[in-house]
Amino acid sequence: MKKIYIAGCGGMLGKAFYDNFLKAYELKCTDIDLNEEWLHFLDFRNYNDYANQVNEFNPDYLFHMGAFTDLEYCENNIEQTYLTNTLSVEHAVSIANKKNIPLVYISTAGIFDGKKDIYNDWDIPNPLGHYAKSKYYAEKYVENNSLKYLIFRAGWMMGGGPKKDKKFVNKIMHQLKNQCKELNIVDDKFGTPTYTCDFANNVKIVLESEYWGLYNLTCNGSTSRYEVACEILNLLNLNNKIKINKVSSDFYKSVYFAKRPYSERLVNMKLKLRSLDKMRDWKVCLKEYLEESFSNFL
């Protein structure tokens, strides 16, 4: 059984990777936040601790997943953002290269500036804020310095349930749980939802195919924040009970002040060309996610 060391595995995506890879691989999963019994402590910003743990476990693959993903936090904590999101990835590259093992790094659709409607794997990023820049600089470092690597660009993440999901779907569900009768949803931001379970499964497929390189990896079908909210109400049969108001991003500019691209829509062109795109439509995934993680939530 081959071994995978996963750094930064305590979040919504980490749980999906743990569940998906556990039966076929021996795992060591680490994080700074020990919120699961299967997690071991690691602050991957400390190079020596990171290297020592990986060397001791002696894995066949190194997955680097953790990052600060709150855009406003990143704007207010610039040094910590680059230390966590960029320099720690340079640690991972060095460690993987010294062991001559492949590195898997998770990037983001947020590295694009949104001037195009849809982005394929070969489009040139132009990050806007410090979160996007920190992720893009890390992505470029992996590309330019790793001996063998996989980079996956994820879209609007959904998954992990009420405990781990810090993204849009869970925020909407909490408003509904709090008996909110009216939702104000932006209609000027577009992207591609990405279900963590599908994402982890497709990473496993690409890893085992050994087609190394950089890939867009999102669910099929692009959408808007407004359409996602409408679909949530439709699936929950709340269309006639909850009012949705279309608002612009300026409505929330005091809270969400970090720059965000107009469009973060990705297409999995390279995966499709290699017949490796196993991602489902985002509406199918959203339905499954709500049924499996929020059935008793409201």
Q: Cβ atoms within 10 A of the Cβ of 243, count?
A: 12
Q: How far apart are CA 205 and CA 21, in angstroms?
A: 11
Q: How far apart are CA 67 and CA 50, in angstroms?
A: 15
The answer to whether the CB of 110 falls within 8 A of the CB of 264 is yes
Quickly state the pLDDT bin for 240 (edges 50, 70, 90).
Answer: confident
pLDDT tens string 148-179: 999 999 999 999 999 999 999 999 999 999 99
Domains contained in the chain, CATH given = 3-164+193-221+264-280 (3.40.50.720)
And the tokens for 291?
């049924």
- Asked if residue 298 has pLDDT above 80, the reply is no
Report pTM.
0.95
pLDDT averaged over every residue in the chain = 96
pLDDT tens string 37-64: 999 999 999 999 999 999 999 999 999 9
Tell me the three-class secondary structure of 192-219, residue by residue. CEEEHHHHHHHHHHHHHHCCCEEEECCC
pLDDT tens string 115-144: 999 999 999 999 999 999 999 999 999 999
Quickly state the pLDDT bin for 297 (edges 50, 70, 90).
Answer: confident
Q: How far apart are CA 193 and CA 186, in angstroms?
A: 16
State the pairing for strand pair 243-247/3-7: unpaired
